[in-house]
């Protein structure tokens, strides 16, 4: 909820600054048609559209990477949020934030694997119900982390629906355990022969 308000405040602040640039244009319009806020919004959309087109070019993509490295990656949490957004958009399914069920206090909790560490541990992100934007981070032993073959969106929808749809998560967990059990049994049989 806090991040939604923050986004609204940033847009309003951007609109206020855009009005400064729009004022010379709006002052030339007839007074009855001088809708500064509407013009500011249109300019903001046009600017975003042009930047979006520019970053799709080779030069624009390089400039974006440089800006991210020089400025944005210095902002705490930026790279984490970028990885999470990419996972939700299915742009990079192999990125961090792999969906998982995590054993916490005798329960399986839906969450995401942020990164794996040496020493058989992982950092996991556990969203809060029903607002997945509130969260907790844990560093837990890998044997308590069970990666799932489901989309990040399905995990977030389950959390936002107070656990509705968790049968898909449990089915993926059971399928992974069954597959793991079968491969272990096959290894034992191969060792005996």
Distance CA 167, CA 148 (A): 12
Asked if residue 123 lies in contact with residue 117, where contact means CB atoms within 8 angstroms, the answer is yes
Mutual angle of helices 166-192 and 152-160, in 10-degree steps: 130
CATH of domain 81-192: 2.30.30
> pLDDT digits over 75-88, tens only?
877 776 777 676 66
Question: In this structure, how many other beta carbons lie within 10 angstroms of the beta carbon of residue 8?
Answer: 10
What average pLDDT score do residues 41-60 get? 86
Do 64 and 82 contact (CB within 8 A), yes or no? Answer: no
Distance CA 84, CA 32 (A): 46
Is the predicted pLDDT of residue 40 greater than 80, yes or no?
Answer: no
Task: Note the pLDDT tens digit of each residue in 84-132.
Answer: 676 666 655 555 678 999 999 889 999 989 888 988 999 998 888 766 5
pTM over 0.75: no
- What span, in angstroms and rounded, lies between the C-alpha atoms of 153 and 137? 19
């Amino acid at each position: 909820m806090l991040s939604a308000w923050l986004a609204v405040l940033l847009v309003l602040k951007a609109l206020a600054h855009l009005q400064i640039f729009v004022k010379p244009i709006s002052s030339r319009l007839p007074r009855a048609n001088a809708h500064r806020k509407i013009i500011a919004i249109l300019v903001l959309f046009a600017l975003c559209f042009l930047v979006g087109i520019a970053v799709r070019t080779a030069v624009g993509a390089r400039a974006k990477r440089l800006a991210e490295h020089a400025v944005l990656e210095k902002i705490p949490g930026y790279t984490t949020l970028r990885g999470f957004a990419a996972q939700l958009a299915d742009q990079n399914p192999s990125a961090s934030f792999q969906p998982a069920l995590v054993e916490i206090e005798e329960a399986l909790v839906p969450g995401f694997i942020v990164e794996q560490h040496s020493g058989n541990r992982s950092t996991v992100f556990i969203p809060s119900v029903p607002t997945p934007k509130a969260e907790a981070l844990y560093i837990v032993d890998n044997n308590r982390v069970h990666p799932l073959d489901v989309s990040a969106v399905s995990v977030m929808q389950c959390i936002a629906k107070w656990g509705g749809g968790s049968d898909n998560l449990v089915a993926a967990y059971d399928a992974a355990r069954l597959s793991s059990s079968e491969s272990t049994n096959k290894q034992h049989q191969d060792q005996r022969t």
